Amino acid sequence: MKKFLILAIGIVLFSACEKDKSDKAGIYNGPETSFHHGKAWTWVQLNGKGEPQRVGVTLNEDLLNSVPTGEGGGEHHHDDNVVLQLPTQAAITPFKHIWLNWNPAGHPPANIYTKPHFDIHYYMTSAQEREQYLDPVKLNASPAAEYLPANYFGGDPVPTMGKHFVDITSPELDPVNPQPFTQTFIYGSYDSKVVFYEPMITLDFLLNTQVFERSIPQPAKFQQSGFYPTRMRVIKIAKQSQIILEDFVYRTAS
């Protein structure tokens, strides 16, 4: 009888553990945030082990149809943005908050990124920390080359945002036959640390794209251990555009 009870307890505990694992699977939404005349929100999708599969931002049709265009002279906009909170379940990812920036006339360099577009910053630090990115020396300090993908080169830093690194092999930067800018993928840093990933996407691309995916260029090394995305996807579902980072892989700091 004693052996039977021990076996029964073991089965119950095992079943509970398995249920606990499977209960972690699902999609968890962050709070909806008003932006212009629409809504934006974040979400994360976990597998049964609680590991990240996707983390995304959803912009509804009302938002995309209400953002102003052609204003502001093509500078980086700090006055047309919103901080999006991530759900608590997203703590398994490197990302702490998302800063959604709208650029109604784009930003430099001229005739390349001077199109109405979103900068979707997936930050690895809190919004409070980001707001302190003001030190000129730390803004200019680049991470060691191995912590950035090959072919990524730094541009001018932006206070409270960071230093941006662009892929010089992107089609819009081709010196011989440049293509119109639609989307690109940027890395960002502060104080020699990689602090954000940034899909940068034009309004026109989001309005007219049903499905799109691309790889995210990967560095040789990572400064912090954790799960990092390797692909970006854009999907339009039920009048909502989703900008997704997915196919997470665990990386060890080195």
Q: For residue 209, what are the contacts with CB-CB under 8 A and spacing of at least 6?
A: 234, 236, 241
DSSP 3-state assignment of 99? strand
106: DSSP letter: -
Question: What is the number of other CB atoms lying within 10 angstroms of the CB of residue 14?
Answer: 10
Domains of the chain, by residue range, sit at 15-251
Q: What is the pLDDT of residues 111-149, one digit of tens each?
A: 999 999 999 999 999 999 999 999 999 999 999 999 999
Q: What is the pLDDT of residues 210-230, one digit of tens each?
A: 999 999 999 999 999 999 999
Could you tell me the two tokens for 18? 């398995």
pLDDT of res. 23: 74
Please state whether the predicted TM-score (pTM) of the whole model is above 0.85.
yes
Q: What is the pLDDT of residues 162-175, one digit of tens each?
A: 999 999 999 999 99
pLDDT exceeds 70 at position 8? no
- The whole-chain average pLDDT of the chain stands at 91
CA nearest neighbour of 199 among 214, 211, 179: 214
162: DSSP letter: B
Confidence of residue 70 (pLDDT cuts 50, 70, 90): confident
Residue 83: strand pairing partners: 99
Q: For residue 49, what are the contacts with CB-CB under 8 A and spacing of at least 6?
A: 21, 24
Share of the chain above pLDDT 90, in %: 85
Torsion angle of the four alpha carbons 208, 214, 216, 218, in this order, in degrees rounded to the nearest 10:
-160
Please say whether the beta carbons of 202 and 183 come within 8 A.
Answer: yes
